[in-house]
Chain A
């Protein structure tokens, strides 16, 4: 099968407008006859389900959590980008488009990214209309801040809880449609199989996680809004339940997987503190607006950070990247931290951490401004700290509290210790311009698809993409498929394809629980995570990746011999749920290594040690690797398909933030 990205013709800035005014429509009475399944209720899923229901489609929405409001979008902290140019600092749709393509190290599709930038402004309007309480200025207008990889202030936020507020907005829209009878909500349900009839996606098999029973659900189309797969690393900033299962079942059923090795390691997370650690906690990128990153200039410096004088501190991001300083993109900040720690300059007990220090901006920036407002001439240090602390508290209070709660250290007094951690996956199911996967009728939205962020995502762009896909893209593009489905009557779930899919899922679950070995699911997950982190993490090499593939294969074989799952199938059994997810991670991990091995270049979050500049920056190979890797499942192996990327509006260059 050849990959058809279905990018509309025309100049990049007109494509979406043209598309919208020429795409076939489904009339209101036909919409009422069409059923859509939405799996996942994060920003992409909740906004899609709500909007499609508002338009008249019959929607069924599924989430594995106990309520759609708990999807992991809720934990996004810093903000959401939009090209509003409210700050009059020269922002525009084109600039957001350009920053995103460059930030993604020239591995994203131009047309999709331009559309994303165009939709960004409507998202803010929509969220405000829903009652999302964004931060505001005294005059009543919306407030903005900066994020990495940009030189304008285009990030809208609600303290350090932007994802929560946006998701609760989308969730309220979803629940409104539930109340109106247009959406049927299935919480505590997990999708375990895709149902295909005549090559098209026609439904899913879902497992009711409370009763353990399998259910058959028909849909004219299926939308996967199931988030990313960062938990393949075991330790990540993802929620404990975040998983690849729905996307992986789709992949096995024919959906190609795009750029699986493109994962984002976020530079500012609270470091690992012990072997029992179950997850890592992010400290928002917004902190880099006011926090300065440094390590001591001496190796193995054991002094308390507050005792290290200014001239013995290396603000290495400001030194290496003066134009962007502490606000370089995530991949660059992460690698720079690793470089310093590997060279012996790391801090804290493990020496695998760097400082994120707020003292300078707290006192010199905010303290002085406040003092000047109060007409205090020559304020002393104590006054500056007192006044500055109030400002910092308002901006980041909840993050500082969270840091203190976890580490037992007060970041108002002592610099934070931070280290990179797995955060986001740019890779995902390959989709065309309509967001349709290679299985007709099956779509992927938000983090679950591969489309907009190339090899590295800029901060505050995940929320933007999830909501753009759900509120503004899929409601239009799905008509391009469903207009041809208006004659398709709902298919009975007694159809043989439903029976076969349910049987397959049932056999798989019975097999897993029947193994009754000696090792817990968790122990396999932890071991897989360690292989992935060490060999397919921040730095990758041919040798390491080949070893990782062999190790994962061996671990997977052992899993199917020795895993122990307590309890039974037809009951609430979280260990069984987890086992199914880990089984899929054990396959995905191998594909990620295969993809990383294929890509003989460094770009964005994918850093192959063999391919770097003399200064240690990522060395792209545009001649040979300017493509999206789209992997087709062939049972036990994969076949690579390539989507060539064409840049007609942006001049390709080596990415520089110096």
Chain B
């Protein structure tokens, strides 16, 4: 068993959406093999044992795919390591004696529910506005009847790996959701199945994104740098291109 690390935590506590929040300080002993969320489990057990309220945080699959976990760790969404979610971040990425600051995603589009938990339903509404192919079950032709070149399929897949966690918004100084929207627009505009609606889709999704209060993109690239699935910045270029082309077609 590896040696325990002594950590100081500064954690954002906020009772509900309406109330003001503040940082609280805690001490936790953690094993380097623990995930960051398991370290929070230990903290919460301590809090419960001493009659205090545990820290509320979102988490579910704990294997980096559901997109539920969301912590800003020392100022960075999902912490210091590239290409991993908070649940896949291990304490070996920290040092004995470190002080770690943990906050929720901060964006107008993601109001805090409690402590480190935020409301990301804006993303669902963006998808509902156009992030789909309009096809009903039972309509499909044989899957191999429309060939898709491997390079196209691979690129569409790369964009489709977005887990909708919102780290891109959290990382952006404008709280822009362009990487999220760009990923879906790229996936569906590349594939033949998504082409019939590509123009109406991009316009509807961008309109909804704006209505949700997400900011504009100023090309700093923080979103792609912090994306745990490493969605490339090029999806934003695709989004812009698709949008301009749709607008020029009077959509």
**Chain A residues at the B interface, C-beta cutoff of 8 Å:** 47, 50-51, 54, 65-70, 72, 74-75, 84, 86, 122, 124-131, 133-142, 158-159, 161, 163-165, 168, 171-173, 175-176, 178-179, 185, 187, 210, 239-241, 273-274, 276-279, 281-282, 401-402, 405-406, 408, 471-472, 475, 520, 522-523, 564, 566-567, 571-575
Partner of B139, one of A124, A129, A179: A129
Closest to B204 in A: A179
Selected from A142, A276, A475, A566, the residue in CB contact (under 8 A) with B48 is: A566
User: CB of B150 within 8 A of chain A?
Assistant: yes
B1 to A, closest residue via Cβ: A274
Please measure, in the bound complex, the distance between the C-alpha atom of A122 and the C-alpha atom of B139, giving whole angstroms: 10
Which residues of the partner chain B approach A520 to less than 8 Å between Cβ atoms?
45, 48-49
Interface of B is mostly: loop
B217 at interface by CB-CB < 8 Å: no
B67–A70 touching, CB < 8 Å: yes
Q: Contact between A175 and B34 (Cβ–Cβ < 8 Å)? A: no
**Once the chains bind, are A566 and B54 in contact (CB under 8 Å)?**
yes
Note all chain B residues with C-beta closer than 8 A to A573.
Answer: 56
Which residues from 116 to 143 on chain B have a C-beta closer than 8 Å to any C-beta of chain A?
117, 119-121, 123-124, 127-143
CB distance from B155 to the nearest CB of A (A): 9
Q: Quick one: given A69-B164, A164-B65, are A475 and B127 in contact (CB under 8 Å)? A: no
Instruction: Kindly state the separation between the CA atoms of A125 and B139 in the bound complex, as whole angstroms.
Output: 9
A176 to B132, CA, bound (A): 7
Report the minimal beta-carbon distance from B79 to chain A, rounded to whole angstroms.
Answer: 12
Which A residue's beta carbon lies closest to that of B49? A520
B68 and A277 contact, CB distance less than 8 A: no
- Cβ of B137 and Cβ of A168 under 8 Å apart? no
Which of chain B's residues have a CB closer than 8 A to the CB of A567? 53
Contacts of B202 in A (CB 8 A): none
CB of B211 closer than 8 Å to a CB of A: no
A47 to B136, CA, bound (A): 10
Q: With A66-B119, A122-B140, A572-B113 in contact, is A140–B147 under 8 Å at CB?
A: yes
In contact, B64 and A50 (Cβ under 8 angstroms): no
Contact B143 A124 (CB under 8 A): yes
User: 8 closest A-B pairs (Cβ-Cβ)?
Assistant: A140-B147, A172-B132, A125-B140, A179-B128, A129-B140, A133-B157, A175-B128, A128-B143
Which positions 50-95 of chain B face chain A at CB distance < 8 Å? 51-54, 56, 58-68, 83-84, 88, 90, 92
Report which of A65, A142, A172 forms a contact with B143, defined as CB distance below 8 A.
A142
Nearest B residue to A407 via CB reads: B33
- Assembly CA distance A408 to B93 (angstroms): 11
Q: Is the CB of A173 within 8 A of B60?
A: no
Known: A65-B60, A210-B113, A566-B53. A129 touches B144 (CB 8 A): no
Tell me whether B246 is interfacial, beta carbon within 8 Å: no
List of B residues within 8 angstroms of A471 by Cβ: 137
User: Is B124 a contact partner of A240 (Cβ separation < 8 A)?
Assistant: no
Given A130-B135, A278-B38, A140 and B59 contact (CB-CB distance below 8 Å): no
Residue contact B16 to A74, C-beta cutoff 8 Å: no
Choice from B83, B140, B188 contacting A128 with Cβ under 8 Å: B140
B102 contacts the other chain (CB 8 A): no
* Total contacts A-B at CB 8 Å: 220
Minimum CB–CB distance for A320 against chain B, Å = 31
Q: Residue among B132, B133, B160 with the most chain A CB within 10 A?
A: B132
Q: Are B60 and A72 in contact (CB under 8 A)?
A: yes
Q: How far is the CA of A187 from the CA of B164 in the complex (A)?
A: 15
Cβ-defined contact, A126 with B137, below 8 A: yes
Residues of B within 8 A of A282 (CB): 63
Other than the given A130-B193, A138-B149, 7 more pairs (CB < 8 A) read A67-B164, A135-B153, A172-B127, A173-B135, A175-B124, A239-B66, A475-B137
Question: Residue B120 contacts which of A67, A165, A281 (CB distance < 8 angstroms)?
Answer: A67
Name the B residues within 8 Å of A406 (CB-CB).
Answer: 35, 88, 90
B121:A66 contact, CB within 8 angstroms: yes
Least CB distance, B118 to chain A, in whole angstroms? 8
- CB pair B141 A133 closer than 8 Å: no
Closest A residue, CB atoms, query B119: A66
Per-residue A-contact encoding for B159-190, CB less than 8 Å = 1, 0 else? 01101100000000000000000000001100
B191 within 8 A of A: yes
Q: Which residues of B contact A141 (CB under 8 A)?
A: 144, 147
A70 and B135 contacting across the interface, CB-CB below 8 Å:
no
Measured CA separation A137–B140 after assembly (Å): 21
Cα–Cα distance between A125 and B145 once the two chains are bound (Å): 9
| Chain A residues within 8 Å of B61, by CB | 70, 72, 74-75, 239-240
Assuming the A-B contacts A136-B148, A141-B144, A402-B88, are A165 and B157 also in contact, with contact meaning beta carbons closer than 8 angstroms in the complex?
yes
Q: Could you jot down 5 A-B contacts, CB within 8 Å?
A: A84-B144, A131-B132, A172-B127, A279-B63, A523-B45
Closest residue of A by beta carbon distance from B48: A520
CB distance from B147 to the nearest CB of A (A): 3
Residue pair B68, A125 in contact (C-beta under 8 Å): no
A133 touches B153 (CB 8 A): yes
A137 to B143, CA, bound (A): 13
Given known pairs A67-B121, A140-B149, A175-B124, the reply for A133 and B156 (CB within 8 Å) is yes
B31 at the A/B interface (Cβ < 8 Å)? Answer: yes
User: Any chain A CB within 8 A of the CB of B106?
Assistant: no
CB distance from B212 to the nearest CB of A (A): 14
Which of B1, B35, B114, B138 contacts A572 (CB under 8 A)?
B114
Chain A CB within 10 Å, residue with most, of B49, B64, B124: B124
B112–chain A nearest beta-carbon distance, Å: 10
Which has the most chain B C-beta neighbours within 10 Å: A140, A241, A402? A140
| B236 adjacent to chain A (CB < 8 Å) | no
Known: A168-B160, A276-B41. A185 touches B124 (CB 8 A): yes
A400 to chain B, nearest CB (A): 13
Q: CB < 8 Å: which of A74, A136, A165, A523 contacts B66? A: A74
Q: Inside 8 A of A522's CB, which chain B residues have their CB?
A: 41, 45
Q: Which residues of A contact B54 (CB under 8 A)?
A: 566, 574-575
Inter-chain contacts of A139 with B (CB < 8 A): 147
B37 contacts the other chain (CB 8 A):
yes
Chain B residue with minimal CB distance to A405? B88
Report yes or no: B1 in contact with A472, Cβ–Cβ below 8 A.
no
Contact B62 A279 (CB under 8 A): yes
Query: Contact between A187 and B132 (Cβ–Cβ < 8 Å)?
Result: no
Residues B129 and A179 in contact, CB atoms below 8 Å apart: yes
**Given contacts A171-B127, A175-B128, A571-B114, A241 and B60 within 8 Å (CB-CB):** yes
Residue B215 at the chain A interface, CB threshold 8 Å: no
List residues of chain B with CB within 8 A of the CB of A72: 60-61, 66
Q: Are A75 and B137 closer than 8 Å at their CB atoms? A: no
Given contacts A125-B143, A131-B194, contact A278 B62 (CB under 8 A): yes
Task: Report the separation of the CA atoms of residues A311 and B180 in the bound assembly, to the nearest whole angstrom.
Answer: 52
Contacts of B34 in A (CB 8 A): 274, 276
**Any chain A CB within 8 A of the CB of B42?**
yes
Q: In the assembled complex, which residues on chain A have CB atoms less than 8 Å from the CB atom of B143?
A: 84, 124-125, 127-128, 134, 142
Q: In the bound complex, what is the Cα–Cα distance between A574 and B121 (angstroms)?
A: 19
Query: What A residues does B139 contact at CB under 8 A?
Result: 129
By beta carbon, the residue of chain B nearest A173 is B132
Q: How far apart are B168's CB and chain A's nearest CB, in angstroms?
A: 16
Distance in angstroms between the alpha carbons of A54 and B54 in the assembled complex: 43
Q: Measured between alpha carbons, how far is A161 from B34 in the docked complex, in Å?
A: 24
Q: A652–B202 Cα gap in the complex (Å)?
A: 55
Task: Give Cα A178 to B132, complex, Å.
Answer: 12
Contact B124 A574 (CB under 8 A): no
Tell me if A239 and B62 are in contact (CB < 8 A): yes
B59 & A129 in contact (Cβ 8 Å cutoff): no
**Listed residue (A74, A139, A158, A523) with the most chain B CB atoms within 10 angstroms of its CB:** A74
Q: Determine whether the beta carbon of A572 is less than 8 Å from that of B153.
A: no
Residue of A165, A408, A566 most packed against chain B (CB within 10 A) = A566
Q: For A125, give its contact among B31, B37, B141, B161 (CB under 8 Å).
A: B141
Contact A74–B65 (Cβ < 8 Å): yes
Closest to B123 in A: A67
Which residue of A has the minimal Cβ distance to B33? A273
CA distance A74 to B63 in the complex (A): 10
Question: With a CB–CB cut-off of 8 A, which chain B residues contact A278?
Answer: 35, 37-38, 41, 62
